[in-house]
Chains A and B, each alone.
Chain A
């Protein structure tokens, strides 16, 4: 009897999953189908909104002349390095602040100012300081996530139940041992969740950086397409960005699952 009900329950779960997948697919088809249809019927301006088939043609063309691979790999590289650098540096600064409560008190108002400041506004200064190249774009991708990472991770460090540290102190642990054995592992869930935010932020930083200065990359393609009024190019770049940003996010989620497994 129980077994039968359990099987029914499993079937119900399966059915529900199929239902969800079906509607997700329908939304996708309706979006691209509607876009194509409206464009062909000229209900929307074809010059500005293009159409899926025209975007697809542009895509094939750019792939076959090899230029797309270059642009995509440049942007991906910049984003990944910016993302990793931003997260690592932010965590490192948070560690220093945790280490020295006095320093954290002194720096507190400056962190607030830096956090409130729109980082992309620093773009022109970065370019002048670091030169118009990959380096300033990567710096932008990192800069945009450093401060928020610092603040969130530092808050997590401080929020670790002091009794865990007390356990180690009764064994005569040094501050470094306490950090390594308790503070850092207890904060892993928070660090991972900042990774998720940072993925999105790094894309913003890099794309804006490329708007400003680049001669390669997806941000450059968007700006170039806009300047020559080739919106096939702009929309294609957007779709590619959406694709790769999603993949990066999924990878971070996989890492999260692997690390958080025993942290609950």
Chain B
């Protein structure tokens, strides 16, 4: 059995005018330490699926297992969730922002400061602990958001287009940092993105979803020689554009 198991996930949203099916029969398995990407056209329910894995709400049908435990809103696993924007709390210092997850879980404050400092060091921002988010650039803030998700030592990281609001240069740098950090901690991660290049550069497998309703269309295995490189170097590799073309054509065929 894999580390993360989705079994026949169906999900529908109900409103007073209609019932909309967003996910249909999604089953997949992800191994521990694996980095995978979910890509697909808008409306394929990627973010909904991520929320279900996070245990924010229950799917209409189907089951989610993380580390052999069934996930539900009453039994959330320790997860790290990164959103499109950093959503750092402007009224808290960087250190308080990084340790907010720890604060919610347990109250021993002394170890929090140590964890925060170590993580800020790790992400290359050792001296900003007492600053406020507004004093940092967009790229730096998203790095702090990464530290915040890692602080609780999550079993799995869910990255919901975390680079989409950044400028290109910051995005490339942060991609490298994320892959490097997650490999160092041997973390399992799912990246949701609509950028094929990003998916290839960062992950070991790419799950392509089709829309209306969202179904798992195809899974691409990224060649081993690319998996070993940093995201930046993957983009320079001759094999990169070949993989890109394959996925691009498949995505086009979905209309």
Partners in one complex: yes
Q: Which of B5-13, B62-70, B98-106 contacts A (4 or more CB under 8 A)?
A: B98-106
A263 engages B91 (CB within 8 Å):
yes
How far in angstroms is the closest Cβ of chain A from B22? 18
Q: Does B100 lie within 8 Å of A171, measured CB to CB?
A: yes
Q: A262 to B81, Cβ gap below 8 A?
A: no
Q: Contact between B56 and A181 (Cβ–Cβ < 8 Å)?
A: no
Instruction: Give the shortest distance, in Å, between B1 (CB) and chain A (any CB).
Output: 24
Chain B, 74-126, CB within 8 A of any chain A CB: 76, 78-81, 83, 85, 87, 89-91, 100-101, 104-105
Report the interface size for chain A: residues with CB under 8 A from the other chain.
Answer: 20
A106 to chain B, nearest CB (A): 19
Q: Does A155 contact B (CB under 8 A)?
A: no
Query: Closest Cβ of chain A: how far from B116's Cβ, in Å?
Result: 15
Query: Which one of B83, B89, B91, B104 contacts A171 once the chains associate, using CB atoms below 8 Å?
Result: B104
**Cβ of A173: which chain B residues have Cβ within 8 Å of it?**
104
Whether B183 is near chain A, meaning CB under 8 Å from some CB there, is: no
| Most chain B CB atoms below 10 A, which of A170, A172, A181, A182 | A170
Classify chain B's interface size.
20 to 34
Residues of B within 8 A of A172 (CB): 76, 78, 104-105
Number of A-B pairs, beta carbon distance below 8 Å: 53
Q: Does A177 contact B (CB under 8 A)?
A: yes
Verify A167–B87 contact, CB threshold 8 A.
yes
Q: Contacts of B90 on A, CB cut-off 8 Å?
A: 262-264
> Quick check: is B134 within 8 A (CB to CB) of the other chain?
yes
Q: Would you give 17 A-B contacts (Cβ < 8 Å), ordered by A?
A: A161-B87, A163-B85, A163-B87, A164-B87, A166-B83, A167-B81, A167-B83, A167-B148, A168-B104, A169-B56, A172-B76, A172-B105, A185-B91, A188-B91, A262-B90, A262-B134, A264-B134
Name A residues whose Cβ lies closer than 8 Å to a Cβ of B. Answer: 161, 163-164, 166-173, 177, 181-182, 185-186, 188, 262-264
B residues in contact (CB < 8 Å) with A = 54, 56, 76, 78-81, 83, 85, 87, 89-91, 100-101, 104-105, 132, 134, 148, 152, 158
